[in-house]
Amino acid sequence: MRNAVLAADIGGTKTYVALAEPQDEGVRMLHVERYANDEYGDFDAILRRFVAEHAAGREIRYAAFGVAGPREGERVRLTNRPWLIDAAVCSAILDGAPVRLMNDFEATAYGVEVLGEPDVLTLQRGEFRPRAPQVVLGAGTGLGVAYRLWEGGCYRVVPSEGGHAGFAPADLRQLELWRYLHERLGRVEAEHVVSGAGIARIYAFLGGSPDIPPAEVSALALEHEDSVALEALEIFASCFGAVAGDHALAVLAYGGVFLAGGIAPKVLKPRQASRLLTAFNSKGSFSGIVERIPIHVVLNEQVALLGAALAAVRDVAT
């Protein structure tokens, strides 16, 4: 157990912590625990509990944490919870083991490498090319975008702020949506549309209540077939597909596009998935290129935890 590493996926409402070890070219999870953040005053308390209950007497060689917030040096402040994750404090709890902090979406981008066939739903098989660039997009609270580029015998993750790129309307209805958002937000970003908040904004634009959260909009559409909610999800899916296709085209992502985050598995039913694919592939004279790019929906909700563990294992090896 001398090569054990510790990984964590620290979100706004819940935290996963795991012990892991190297396995072939990947990682093997030894133990995983899920914690409700409301039951703890800070992440340090969660980490101390996990170490006491599941890592007592084990040497932790390295740790890597994916955190839902912007990194500031060796600290990350959560976006949706008043927690500060400090690498030095966490290292002390782990008896001096080095601690690497990364954004949770960077961890997700590492994690897609170790997903198995049951962990993804393929929307477009395309023509997969080994070692070709890959794109990972995640619609959730915001819109995460990262690239995976082959370098030195493995994929290197390149984080980005692509979710804050400008939103480009693809038809007259989306142009009306852009105008509606521009009046309220100023510059309209892709994240303003392709995110949980984006679903709620689209629903309000169509005349629905502005106070209904995105989960309820989805339920109205998928469980009650509400016409306004259904149109909102269709517009959302089209915009998601267009944004994903733009990023795929930018790097010629023949290694695949992975749609992660909590929204895609829940709302991309056949009707919405069809809209997404149509928008993804509608690239004018370049449509023939993007039609050959594989597209997968990530189903495994622990992908960021897997990615943090993989990053820790690789850091130990180097």
Checking if the pLDDT of 12 tops 90, the result is no
Query: What's the mean pLDDT when you consider all of the chain?
Result: 94
What integer pLDDT is reported at residue 22 of this predicted model?
86
Cβ–Cβ under 8 Å, residues 160 and 109: no
CA distance 3 to 313: 8
Band of the pLDDT at 161, cuts 50, 70, 90?
confident
| Fold entry, domain 116-298 | Hexokinase; domain 1 (3.40.367)
Which CATH code fits 5-111+302-317?
3.30.420.40
Band of the pLDDT at 1, cuts 50, 70, 90?
very low
Contacts (Cβ under 8 Å, ≥6 apart) of 147: 109, 133, 134, 135, 136, 157, 158, 160, 247, 251
Highest mean pLDDT among 3-17, 59-73, 170-184: 170-184
Checking if the pLDDT of 262 tops 90, the result is no
Question: What percent of the chain is predicted at pLDDT more than 70?
Answer: 98
Please indicate whether residue 295 or residue 117 has the higher confidence score (pLDDT).
Answer: 295
CA distance 19 to 34: 12
Question: Which residue from 198, 274, 280 is spatially nearest to 246, judged by alpha carbons?
Answer: 280
Band of the pLDDT at 212, cuts 50, 70, 90?
very high
From-to residues of CATH 3.30.420.40 in the chain:
5-111+302-317
Per-residue CA distances from 301 to 30, 90, 117, 224, 234 (Å): 17, 24, 14, 26, 24
Cβ–Cβ under 8 Å, residues 79 and 68: yes
Question: Which residue from 52, 87, 82, 49 is spatially nearest to 71, judged by alpha carbons?
Answer: 87
Residue 122 — φ and ψ, nearest 5°? -85, 120
CA distance 263 to 194: 10
Q: In three state form, how does the secondary structure of 286-306 look?
A: HHHHHCCCCEEEECCCCHHHH
- Paired sense of beta strands 26-36 and 14-23, if any: antiparallel
With vertex at residue 26, the alpha carbon angle to CA 132 and CA 66, rounded to the nearest 5 degrees, is: 85
Cβ–Cβ under 8 Å, residues 292 and 254: yes
Checking if the pLDDT of 177 tops 60, the result is yes
Residue 275 — φ and ψ, nearest 5°? -65, -45
pLDDT digits (tens, 9 = 90+) for 103-147: 888 999 999 999 999 999 999 999 999 999 999 999 988 899 999
From-to residues of CATH 3.40.367.20 in the chain:
116-298
Task: DSSP for 219-284, please give it.
Answer: HHHHTT--HHHHHHHHHHHHHHHHHHHHHHHHHT-TTEEEEESSSHHHH--HHHHHHHHHHHH--G
What's the helix, strand, coil split of the chain in %, to 5? 45, 25, 30
Cβ–Cβ under 8 Å, residues 242 and 230: no
Band of the pLDDT at 3, cuts 50, 70, 90?
low
CA distance 214 to 189: 18
Rounded to a whole number of angstroms, the CA Rg of the chain reads 20
Checking if the pLDDT of 2 tops 60, the result is no
Average pLDDT of span 298-302: 94
Sheet of 84-86, strand order: 71-72, 75-77, 84-86
What residue has token string 């009707």?
Answer: 271
Q: In three state form, how does the secondary structure of 183-232 look?
A: HHHCCCEHHHCCCHHHHHHHHHHCCCCCCCCHHHHHHHHHCCCCHHHHHH
Checking if the pLDDT of 221 tops 50, the result is yes
Residue 215: count other Cβ atoms within 10 Å of its Cβ. Answer: 15
CA distance 286 to 294: 15
